Structure 1
Amino acid sequence: MRKRRQRQIASTFALLIAALSLSACSSQQSSGKVSYKQTAEASLDKGMDNQPEAPYWFPNQLLKWQFSKDKQAKYNVATVPLAKRIDKWQLPTVNKTQDPKMKVVALSIMNASTSGNAPRGINTFDANVFSNWQYIDQLVYWGGSAGEGLIVPPTADVIDAAHKNGVPVLGTVFFPQVVSGGKLKWLNDFLKQDKDGHFPMADKLVAVAKAYGFDGWFINQETDPEVKSFDSAASGKNSQSTTKSGLTKKHAQLMQQLIKEYKQKAGSKLDLMWYDSMTKDGKMDWQNALTKENQSYLVDANMKPVADSMFLNFWWTKKRLASQDLLKKSRDRAEKLGLNPYNLFAGIDVQADGTSTPVRWDLFANQHNVPYTSLGLYAPNWTYTSSETPDEFQSKEETLWVNDHSDPSRSVPSKTSSQWPGVSTYAVEKSAITKQPFVTNFSLGNGYNYFIKGRKVSLRDWNNRSLQAINPTYRWMIDNPSGNDLKAAFDYTDAYDGGNDIQLSGQMRKNKTSTIKLYTTDIPFTTNTQVKVAAKATDKTQLDLVVTLKDGRKKTIKGDQALSSKWQTIDYDVSGLAKKTVKSISLSLTTSKSDTSYRAQLGRLAITGKPQASPTAVKSVAIDNRVFDEEGKYAGVNLSWQAASTKHLDHYEIYQRNQNGSRSFLGATDTTNFYLNALERTGQQNETDLMVVPVDIWNQRGPASKVTTLKWPDNRKPKAAFTVDRTLASPGSTIKFTNTSSNNATSFKWQFTGAKQTSSTAKNPTVTYAKAGTYNVTLTAKNKDGQRSVTMKKLITITPKAKGALTVLSKNAKTSASGYTNSSEAPKMAVDGKLSTKWCATGKAPHTLTLDLGHQATVSAVKLAHAKAGGESADMNTKAWTIQVSTDGKHFKDIARTYDNTKATSLNTFAATTARYVRIVVDKPTQVADTAVRIYEMDVLGLNSPLK
């Protein structure tokens, strides 16, 4: 989604409700004894170098991994246990075709890349905040690539959000096709056995899942050197036979044995789902069904179980296979084998076309609309990646998961392959709301702002899916009488707590009641149960609670006061529901006057016992580590603390304590650590005080912790630095100098030996050199606190031999490297003159690429083409590296250093020197935490022969 457009939409809409938004009136607000100074929008939103990173591994890396020795492990642990859901057979169905037997799995790209992912988000709005958990039974955290890593556990925030809703989450083991960089070696490493015949990898898969708190693995094995094209196989053109160079039957047998050992060690608590790809004979032959070729991954020859479930490939709905009725045959085979056919998931690939994906739904279900198998969606994150605004994202979410009416009660089976019926047509809405307390602020887990009890305390963008609330079971079911036309949507312009609320808007007639059905529940009420709702409305509104009891009776409980234009908390007397079980929760709205543009906002719903004492202050707040940018203006800070008690705790809030005693909100989390990204220094302050506040389920804030102090580096004197467009030129040439000094410099003085103009006070001067020779350049940067200088000796070489453009010395040079992913991303690809090829190496940095120019030459510049130049994400552009040269290939010296590149192409210029070998050492391969380096071109520039 495009942030600028989101901001414009949110800002425009905010003007319409300015009269309702008290939080916009002041930058400093008070809540009781606490004074809030509104946090400004962040100027930097990329993760700094110490941002914790969610793990990913190649097989040999995971085999060496130990939780106790992983310094980042504690940041990646999920905190929310898997909630128990209401039994599916006790759930109500809201249309004629919902079937409790059928399940849904989503293979979703929850983060844009395998690497570089913060465990619980950072200060950006953009995140795939999927929230229709009620329609899925499992989430596969889809990830893995040949350039980053193949074994990918889910991030902690995704686990937390799913577990609140009772959804198990599986990590991914991904062996890519050879065309995508797959190597048979990786599969062989995965399937290694020890001297006793056991699989060390089975132990590691169990250990990772238990350590990080997720629920199992999805294995996608598609590596086979003989199968070159997935698309050819899809069209039926693929032909291959397994030989020694490709997959063998032994691979298949070992995989089945590994799965069995994993299941034996994992027990029933950890699942394993197999993807329909490799057959029992070790062939890459997608069956698109349960057949005799792949059934051995679910049950062995002795009818003993293997994997728990199977994701069937996508082509069962293709024209060339439609006549085979593969899903019906899969059901029949499963039943014959004594397997549950609903542990088979019929795959539908919606990554490219979303709800426009053609599907033969008549092959998915029989004439009575009973599905033959369960449903598997690949890349339903299409709703997010194809959207430019939050509203578009939510609209597509409703179409995909519910239907194009945004009302599951109106779902009907599709009569054509071109019409998407909505998952709610077949999947019943699930719920994990089975006990008290149940508290929701309707948060999606991100925001452009942050609100506390209706006050806007921060303008800082954020995302943390661990803070996503349990959102309505039904999207949306609103009973509007004649004359009313109330509609529901998520709204980021206002909130009671967090970053969004639910907005109900449309036409309302005086004394006509509209009712929105929110949740399916199974909550026993007691004599201590309290129900409260925080809400507001443009008109005076009676907001009543409507519940359905276990015996089917409906009860309406009147709110203790009417809504007004300010946030207020409505109390409901539910004493009459004591010792009764509430099966559904709805709210009814009745306005005191007719209004064609009525609007109400729901900010919080809480079903709890009576409030207890506010939480106790946390202890031992500490800065685990911190980094600063080069100018000492921004800090990345990892905080941790100890909870005095977690009873009734909801979350923690992190604050900066200001000099006047006010607080500035910096973030919130559900665990005892927090990564504070790009904390901005205020003026020339030398210290920043940080503190943590616990918040309980009643929205009570405990006392702030003792402060921990971040000490900033002394950056008062400016740092002098510059670059030059060319260091090797002919007499009469004009050379441009670019000032890269720190931002606090206010004036400059340049000195150029040998130039026509030997000094300058311009920021970026242009200088002409008339005579041959080698010359120094000095820059002094000044401000009121002092000055610093830098001199680059013998930087400029003027010679008649350098007339015109410098020669590209490296075209098709001999290359070597510390590593590379495969033959199509080999070192030589960096010197072939093409932006369609690259050198790519994975694993931990540093990565090195060495060029042999074939003879000694004069080199003075290196031009690099990074990921963006080759069409990849700018996040993959190389960030930091060193250029080295050598005359003998053994002894290298540093001649140029780049610390913070963000551009698609870069130019390092340096004093002309004699060299045969030129090497780049990349220590920060990307803008994020991804450790794979991508160099599309490396041009060494200079003269073909040494200068005397």
Structure 2
Amino acid sequence: MPTRRQFLVLSSAAALTGLLPETPLSAAEVAQPFASYWHPSTILDWDPATDRDAKYNRSTVPLAKRVVPARPANAHARPDEARVQALVAYAPTSGNPAQGSPGMDHYATNYWQYIDELVFWGGSASEGLILAPNPTVTDAAHRNGVRVIGNVFLPPTAYGGQLQWVRDFVRREGDRFPVADKMVQVARHHGFDGWFLNQETAGGDTRLAGDMRDFIVYLKKSGLRVIWYDAMTDTGSVSWQNALTARNRAFFEQSDEMFLNFWWSAQGLANSAALARQMGRSPYDLASGVDVEANGYNTGVGWASVFPEGRPHVTSLGLYRPEWTFKSASSPADFYARDNRFWVGQNGDPSNTTTTANWKGIAHYVTELTPITSLPFVTNFNTGHGRKFAVNGTVRSTQAWNNLSLQDVLPTWRWSVTGAATPVTPSLDWDDPFDGGTALKITGTPQSAGDVRLFATSLEITGSTWFEVVHRTGAGPSRLQAVLRFGTTERVLDLGGAGGGWRRSAFPLGEHSGSTLTEISLRVLPGAAVTALIGRIGVTNPVMTPPAAPSHVQVEQVSRVDTTTVSARLTWTRSPGAIRQYRVYQGTGSGRVFLGGTANDAYFVPAIALANGDTAQIEVEAVSEAFDVSAPARISLTGTP
């Protein structure tokens, strides 16, 4: 097991030295909204009415319902037992853009189907100890049914921790805890689901431990989730138990979950599970911590202690820093290969995790979940970052970008291909997207028909439901079929058509009214080599009326980047009804350029090229869940701040 104490320490130079940049910020940098963070004393002064970044830090995507697929991929995995917590650091504590940024170089979380909760990891003594998640992370997680948890980091004294900060954190005013009240306000405003409490500052006493326990009780009354980290004990000292014991049970008793430190043993976990049951709690409210920050899937793990073969799981699983797959990668392709192996195993197929390797992939133990439980469902296979951005088959920006708010629900199974002879190879493609930054690509020379299992669904079909696929192939017939599964019944739809540009195939599903669509696959018929791009798959109840345009578009601030470029803070009034996202463009008509998008009603554009006359025409469109688009709302922006 790991013996490093990196769990609570960010290894950045800023975290260790306490130094902040002394170079004055440019106007453009001042204009950039950043993710929120505070010390216990400074959060008391936070007010969304006076925080100029507050409106840019809101997530508005509701938490989706998730279900176990009708046909899970892996017979070895066990549903409804262990949950998975992922503690992820997306960026340094400070200077983390709130709404994405130019550049593809970003940890785009993709395997949400195996994660139950994501803790937004970070914090340092010099910058801030209480972190609210970026809205981009919360938007993507909620769309996939994953709860997002903010982080509180009260560091060891060796890394700048101060016992006074802990006392400030749990300070009372009568029957109130002022910091807890602010944490509730932050979570409600920002739109995330709870807080991870990580108290590692030494020097406490029994009274301080009692105050911390009471703080948890008070915080939980808000309905937010609270996760406790195994460090502080009931004496107030810091002593990692690596188990649920008499020393930390008081904190677990008041929390929703506890993350157990990394140095656990098989017997310690078994005893922890037994004690949890004695307390009337589920053992799956305990997460056995695994530190993968340094070695990822090369980390040695005693898997049988958590997931004994042929028996119920002992506890849940806590993964510390799975973004190793991104940090250690040499390219986007390398990142996606590493990420697939981390979550699915070295075979690259969640249905086949048989291997002699110690790391068999999370899919070997934990059954995937699907958030595709209500209509409409539309995906463009958008991963949340890319080299370019396309809209309905036309590239509208050649600027590399990242923004998880725009991420679609990605395939449930990556990749599960059936067919005995020379199966095809599915992958994600960033070179030729249909809408967003990515398309699904299928290549190969199949000698027999092969099915690419894509999406587990639980969609109630009505008399007006349609299924659609947008795809393109090379010369000749596409040899693609869509296979829809309704319980034990399959319906095969021939996509056909000659090769060339993007082609939309749509099929009414009214004859299946009252049935539940449980699976979507693509079948490739045998023949010559095939290269197919799938740009969109959707199951919708089409309507003739597009969403209304947003109103009252305003330029809140313009900042000069250079002589020909400005940045801008934009706000607007939301369109009525369910809106998936707003897209911001420069220009009008066929020549307009995509500037970015958000699920929010405020967006920061980092770079707008000024036209003659030092002006730019801006359009904002509302996009529905079915990707119906409103008329544009327009505003003229001048380059004079």
TM over 0.5: yes
| Aligned match for 2:444, one of 506, 512, 516 | 506
Alignment check: 8 A CA contact 2:608 2:616 kept: no
1:409 is paired with a residue whose SS is coil
Structure 1, residues 648-700: CA drift from partner, whole Å, max 9, x if none? x3332222227x98422222222222211022334x64222222223334444
Q: 1:288 aligns with which of 238, 242, 246?
A: 242
CA change 1:61–1:609 in 2 (3 A) is same
C-alpha separation in 1, matches of 2:287 and 2:71: 22
SS of match in other structure, 1:314: coil
* Corresponding position: 1:120 with 2:83: no
Q: Who is 1:634 aligned against? A: 565
> What secondary structure sits across from 2:616 in the alignment?
strand
Mapped contact 2:470–2:502 kept (Cα < 8 A): yes
Judged with a 3 Å threshold, the aligned counterparts in structure 2 of structure 1 residues 49 and 673 are, in CA distance, closer, same or farther, namely same
Cα contact 1:108–1:140 (8 A) shared by 2 = yes
Match of 1:522 in 2: 458
User: Aligned with 1:703: secondary structure?
Assistant: coil
Shift in alpha-carbon separation, 1:89–1:605, aligned structure 2, 3 A: closer
In the other structure, the counterpart of 1:62 is 43
Aligned counterpart, 1:313: 261
Distance 1:47 1:92, change over 3 A: farther
Residue 465 of structure 2 aligns with an amino acid whose one-letter code is T
Partner of 1:125: helix, strand, or coil? coil
Instruction: Give the drift of 1:259.
Output: 0.2
Contact kept, 8 Å, 1:447 with 1:463, in 2: the verdict is yes
Query: What is the letter of the counterpart of residue 688 of structure 1?
Result: A
In 2, are the aligned partners of 1:222 and 1:277 still within 8 Å (CA)?
yes
Contact 2:92 2:122 in 1 (8 A): yes
Give the conservation status (yes or no) of the 8 Å contact 1:651–1:694.
yes
C-alpha displacement of 1:569: 0.8
Partner of 1:604: 536
1:403-451 alpha-carbon deviations (Å, 9 max, x no partner): 1111111124x76xx7211101111001111110011111011111111
Residue of structure 1 equivalent to 2:471: 535
Letter in structure 2 aligned against 1:623: V
Give the structure 2 partner of residue 554 of structure 1: 489
Conserved in 1, the CA contact under 8 Å of 2:283 and 2:314?
yes
Is the Cα contact below 8 Å between 1:47 and 1:122 reproduced in 2?
Answer: no
Paired residue type of 1:546: V
**Structure 1 counterpart of 2:78, one-letter code:** Q
SS at match of 1:706: strand
1:541-566 alpha-carbon deviations (Å, 9 max, x no partner): 233222222xx313123235336232
Q: Deviation of residue 704 (structure 1)? A: 2.2
Quick check: 1:668 aligned with 2:597?
yes
Aligned CA distance change for structure 1 residues 367 and 96 (closer, same or farther; 3 Å): closer
User: 1:745 maps to what in 2?
Assistant: none
* Shift, 1:586, TM fit: 1.3
Contact 1:650 1:697 in 2 (8 A): yes
- Pick closer, same or farther for the CA change 1:440–1:610 going to 2, 3 Å: same
* Number of the residue aligned with 1:707: 635
- The CA deviation string for residues 693-713 of structure 1, in whole angstroms up to 9 with x for no partner, is 233344443322232222347
Residue 419, structure 1, aligned to residue 358, structure 2: yes
Aligned to 2:78: 98
The verdict on how the C-alpha distance between 1:345 and 1:191 changes in structure 2, with shifts beyond 3 A counting, is same
Please give the alpha-carbon distance, in whole angstroms, between the structure 2 residues aligned to 1:89 and 1:478.
Answer: 17
Cα distance change, pair 698–253 in 1 and its aligned pair in 2 (3 A):
closer
Asked if 1 retains the 8 angstrom alpha-carbon contact of 2:446 and 2:524, the reply is: no
Give the Cα–Cα distance (whole angstroms) in 2 for the partners of residues 438 and 524 of structure 1: 11
Higher relative contact order (CA 8 A, sep 6+): 2
CA contact (8 A) 2:139 2:599 kept: no
Unaligned stretches of 5+ residues in structure 1: 1-44, 225-245, 300-305, 317-321, 714-948
Q: Quick one: structure 1 residues 335 and 409, their matched pair in 2 at CA, closer, same or farther if it must change by over 3 Å?
A: same
Tell me the residue number matched to 2:528. 594
- Structure 2 counterpart SS, 1:331: helix
Q: 1:158-557 maps to which residues of 2 (within 5 A)? A: 158-194=137-173, 196-224=174-202, 246-264=203-221, 266-267=222-223, 270-299=224-253, 306-316=254-264, 322=265, 325-412=267-354, 419-482=358-421, 484-509=422-447, 512-538=448-474, 539-549=476-486, 552-557=487-492
1:52-93 deviation line (CA, Å, top 9, x unaligned): 11110000011221222222211111010111112x497735
Matched, 1:568 2:503: yes
**Runs of at least 5 residues in structure 2 that lack an aligned partner in the other structure:** 1-25
Distance across 2 between alignment mates of 1:284 and 1:313: 12
SS in 2 for 1:60: coil
Query: 1:84 aligns to what?
Result: 65
Provide the residue aligned with 2:517 in structure 1. 582
Return the alpha-carbon distance in structure 2 between the equivalents of residues 49 and 151 of structure 1: 22
The SS at the match of 1:298 is: helix
Change (3 A) 1:697 1:374: closer
Shift in Å, 1:399: 0.8
Shift of 1:643: 3.3
User: How many residues are matched?
Assistant: 615
Encode CA deviations 1:81-133: one digit per residue, 9 max, x unaligned.
Answer: 111112x4977352223342111110111x22011122211222221111100
Provide the C-alpha distance between the structure 2 equivalents of 1:287 and 1:442, rounded to a whole number of angstroms.
Answer: 43
**Conserved? CA contact 2:377–2:626, under 8 Å:** no
Q: Is the 1:542–1:563 contact (alpha carbons within 8 Å) kept by the matching residues of 2?
A: no
CA contact (8 A) 1:89 1:100 kept: no
Letter in 2 for 1:446: H
Q: Secondary structure at the match of 1:541?
A: coil
> 1:547-598: per-residue Cα shift (whole Å, max 9, x none)?
222xx3131232353362321111223222111011222121225x322xx3
Name the SS of the counterpart of 1:207 in structure 2: helix
> Does 1:152 find its partner at 2:131?
yes
TM-score (norm 2): 0.92
The 3-state SS of whatever aligns with 1:187 is: helix
Residue 540 of structure 1 aligns with an amino acid whose one-letter code is P
TM-score normalized by the length of structure 1: 0.63
Pick closer, same or farther for the CA change 1:639–1:89 going to 2, 3 Å.
closer
The percent identity for this pair of structures is: 34
For residue 463 of structure 1, report the CA deviation from its aligned partner: 1.3
Structure (1 or 2) with the larger CA radius of gyration:
1
SS in 1 for 2:559: strand
- CA distance in 1 between counterparts of 2:296 and 2:39 reads 31
Q: Helix, strand or coil for the counterpart of 2:233? A: coil
Shift, 1:453, TM fit: 1.5
Q: Residue 253 of structure 1: CA displacement?
A: 0.9
Match of 1:143 in 2: 122
Secondary structure of 1:436's partner? coil
The DSSP-based 3-state class of the residue aligned with 1:645 is coil
1:657 paired residue number:
587
- Distance, in Å, in 1 between the alignment partners of 2:633 and 2:193 is 35
Equivalent position amino acid for 1:127 in 2: H
